[in-house]
């Protein structure tokens, strides 16, 4: 995992023609940060920023599909976010339902598969139901797998995976030839996905915030000061172009 910020990004704004087709990241993860600050800068309620953030996500999903990315994992609501003021949490829940109901048919027609990553047991039933409807409807789609990390925390994910692995392998001894890391990864929420190639965090914060801690061991990190509602095609291409200029050695020479 290499800490390289957007300050080394190219001087010009790259376009799609600058993106090398043979070096497209297979899996991109995004910490969509800055919705509240975007609204505050404009003297607007925070929920307006979250709505604009939902519009930005819709555009990025389309771009991922057009560029040829196969997996997109977005951090939409952390397990810690439940501690926010109740009014804001309630507005966010209403927004999740509204967006999923409005966009589901379009996502399905475009071959997007939706998967919920998170602690389902603590998600309100009406929210969980719309997620499960979305998962069922899109389960056979192949164009892009969209992981929505909701009520998600990586430490909780790792702890739960360890617990499940211990229960399943309670009386089993592992041989020296077995890949324990690979076995453990099967118990994570992302068991059906390759690890992210690129992690993008918006808004100028330089931390991971309990997101995919196991999975990003060798992920390239890209940080930008752009607030999530303003993250557009130009920013997206810039992140991919910067990723393609790096030499991924995975600890080798």
Active site residues: 33, 81
Residues 6+ apart with CB under 8 A from 222: 4, 5, 6, 198, 199, 200, 201, 239, 242, 243
Q: Is 122 left (phi over 0), alpha (psi -120 to 50) or beta?
A: alpha
How many other CB atoms are there within 10 angstroms of residue 134's CB atom? 23
DSSP code string of 92-147: HHHHHHHHHHHHHHHHHHTTEEEEEES-GGGS-HHHHHHHHHHHHHHTT--SEEEE
Residue found by looking up tokens 């190219």 in the block: 10
């Amino acid at each position: 995992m290499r800490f390289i910020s957007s300050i080394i990004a190219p001087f010009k704004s790259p376009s799609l023609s600058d993106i090398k087709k043979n070096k497209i990241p297979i899996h991109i993860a995004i910490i969509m940060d800055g919705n509240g600050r975007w609204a505050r800068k404009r003297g607007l309620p925070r929920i307006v920023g979250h709505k604009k953030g939902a519009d930005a996500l819709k555009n990025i999903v389309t771009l991922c599909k057009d560029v040829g990315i196969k997996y997109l994992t977005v951090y939409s609501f952390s397990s810690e976010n439940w501690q926010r003021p109740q009014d804001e949490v309630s507005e966010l829940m209403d927004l999740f339902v509204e967006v999923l109901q409005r966009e589901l048919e379009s996502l399905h027609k475009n071959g997007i598969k939706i998967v919920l990553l998170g602690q389902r047991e603590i998600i309100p039933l009406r929210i969980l139901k719309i997620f499960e409807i979305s998962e069922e409807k899109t389960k056979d789609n192949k164009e892009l797998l969209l992981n929505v990390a909701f009520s998600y925390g990586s430490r909780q994910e790792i702890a739960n995976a360890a617990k499940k692995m211990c229960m399943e392998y309670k009386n089993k001894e592992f041989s020296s030839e077995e890949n324990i890391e690979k076995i453990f990864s099967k118990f994570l929420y992302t068991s059906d996905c390759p690890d992210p190639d690129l992690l993008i965090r918006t808004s100028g914060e330089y931390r991971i915030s309990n997101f995919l801690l196991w999975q990003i061991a060798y992920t390239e990190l890209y940080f930008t000061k752009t607030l999530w509602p303003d993250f557009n095609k130009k920013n997206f291409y810039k992140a991919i172009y910067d990723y393609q200029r790096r030499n991924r050695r995975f600890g080798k020479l």
